[in-house]
Amino acid sequence: MPDSGDERDCVIALDVGGTSMKGALLDRDLKSLSTVRGATPRRSGPDAVITEISATLRGLRRSAAERGLAVQGAGLAVPGIVDEERQTAVHSANLGWRDVPSAAFLEEASGLPVALAHDVRAGGVAECRLGAGRGAQDVLFVPVGTGISAAVLCDGRPVRSGGYAGELGHVVVEPDGEACACGGRGCLETVASAAAIATAYSARSGRRVDGAAAVAAQLSHGDPDARAVWDRAVEALATALATAVTLLAPEVVVIGGGLAEADSRLLDPLRASLARRLTFQRKPELVRAALGDLAGCLGAGISAWHAADGAGTPRRPRTAAVPAP
């Protein structure tokens, strides 16, 4: 391996979602040297997804060579149940994968060492290292979008539990509530995900909306249906967060995903509702995520650097040492 301090060194970072993928060449400071975005061919089947990821990795490797950069490895962040220890996608419904040794397949196809990471844990590590949780050792990162998940960092270490940790969206907040895609009822996702908010508003008001952002926009117009749906979602989120705070005692709770775009319309009532539920518990700071949709890609890059040179954590920041996702 070239000297770990060579300024020409870089890694490939790739964040693959159910609809799109984001890739980048990242130097040791996690500065982006080149980026690429593309569609995830989920509807063409799991093999097509592997093929597209391999092609994207090879394309970024060619881009690095053209710039005179030496690729030290690749990091891949994917959704679902991901066992980082075995480097296996246990189950990823969005990609059509089940018990897929993704890293091994992609290493063979791309000719690069590949470190597999869970997309939300990768994003949580990036937010802890570079973003809204910077400097904290105990962080709960909660992206709220089409679904809801969480990354748990305790004493500076991401909790993995064989890939099953962090499924906050399936904490039951309304017993005997609506059926959830997971097979349960009354899960947080059925009430507070962006999709659930839009569906509930359309059903209540009789007016179809495309997403939760449209519901949030109606709050400023005094729409009573929007207020009722929004308040229900906030209360459900606060209930689930109160449970997580009691069990894990995070210093910081970072709210990300599409719903965080509502900013104070979400965070202010959520802070107040969470505070009402806490008595003796450590009361966390609740903040909006700072890295947006780049968090997963940056976290994949952190994974790649750790795999490439062991102790080779990127040079910034120096305030908290956070292991790879």
- CATH number of the CATH domain containing 171: 3.30.420.40
By mean pLDDT, which of 3-7, 71-75, 154-158, 243-247 is the weakest? 3-7
Q: Which two tokens stand for residue 175?
A: 């017993």
The runs of H, that is alpha helices, within 84-132 are 102-110, 119-130
Residues 6+ apart with CB under 8 A from 91: 80, 81, 97, 98, 99
DSSP string, 121-164: HHHHHHHHHHSTTTT-SSEEEEEBSSSB--EEEETTEE--GGGT
Query: If you average pLDDT over every residue of the chain, what do you get?
Result: 90
In angstroms and rounded to an integer, the radius of gyration of the C-alpha atoms of the chain is 20
Per-residue pLDDT tens for 165-198?
Answer: 999 999 999 999 999 988 999 999 999 999 999 9
Give residue 110's pLDDT band: very low, low, confident or very high (50, 70, 90).
Answer: confident
Both 270 and 304 in a single domain? no
Output the pLDDT for position 9.
93
What average pLDDT does this structure show over 108-117? 89
Both 158 and 237 in a single domain? yes
Domain that holds residue 142: 132-288
pTM of the model: 0.88
Both 84 and 41 in a single domain? yes
Q: Residue 318: inside a domain, yes or no?
A: no
Q: Residue 316: inside a domain, yes or no?
A: no
Per-residue pLDDT tens for 32-68?
Answer: 999 999 999 988 888 898 899 999 999 999 999 999 9
What is the percent of the chain with per-residue pLDDT over 70, rounded to a whole number?
94
CA distance 288 to 267: 8
Output the pLDDT for position 90.
87
Both 149 and 259 in a single domain? yes
Q: Residue 276: inside a domain, yes or no?
A: yes
Task: Assess whether pLDDT exceeds 80 at residue 325.
Answer: no
Q: Are strands 114-118 and 70-78 parallel, antiparallel or unpaired?
A: parallel
Both 186 and 199 in a single domain? yes
CA distance 165 to 155: 16
What is the percent of the chain with per-residue pLDDT over 90, rounded to a whole number?
73
Q: How many domains does the chain have?
A: 2
Both 76 and 154 in a single domain? no
Residues 6+ apart with CB under 8 A from 85: 160, 162
Task: Assess whether pLDDT exceeds 50 at residue 3.
Answer: no
Task: Assess whether pLDDT exceeds 70 at residue 311.
Answer: no
Please indicate whether residue 163 or residue 310 has the higher confidence score (pLDDT): 163
Output the pLDDT for position 269.
98
Q: Residue 192: inside a domain, yes or no?
A: yes
Phi, then psi, of 118 in degrees rounded to 5: -80, 135
The runs of H, that is alpha helices, within 157-294 are 189-192, 194-205, 212-219, 224-248, 264-277
What average pLDDT does this structure show over 257-282? 96
Both 186 and 247 in a single domain? yes
Q: Residue 4: inside a domain, yes or no?
A: no
Give residue 318's pLDDT band: very low, low, confident or very high (50, 70, 90).
Answer: very low
Both 97 and 142 in a single domain? no
Q: Residue 183: inside a domain, yes or no?
A: yes
Both 85 and 164 in a single domain? no
Per-residue pLDDT tens for 60-101?
Answer: 999 999 999 999 999 999 988 888 888 888 887 778 888 878
Q: Which two tokens stand for residue 23?
A: 């890739």
Output the pLDDT for position 181.
87
DSSP-based three-state secondary structure for 323: coil
Output the pLDDT for position 5.
58
Give residue 204's pLDDT band: very low, low, confident or very high (50, 70, 90).
Answer: very high
Task: Assess whether pLDDT exceeds 70 at residue 4.
Answer: no
Both 110 and 142 in a single domain? no
Closest CA to 234 of 284, 180, 280, 272: 272
Q: Which two tokens stand for residue 317?
A: 């920041």
Q: Residue 88: inside a domain, yes or no?
A: yes
Is-contact 302 124, C-beta < 8 A?
no
Output the pLDDT for position 97.
80
Is-contact 12 64, C-beta < 8 A?
yes
Both 244 and 99 in a single domain? no
What average pLDDT does this structure show over 128-154? 94
What average pLDDT does this structure show over 297-325? 66
Residues 6+ apart with CB under 8 A from 294: 22, 126
Both 175 and 89 in a single domain? no
Q: Residue 246: inside a domain, yes or no?
A: yes
Q: Which two tokens stand for residue 20?
A: 């799109």
Q: Which two tokens stand for residue 172?
A: 């039951």
CA distance 269 to 141: 18
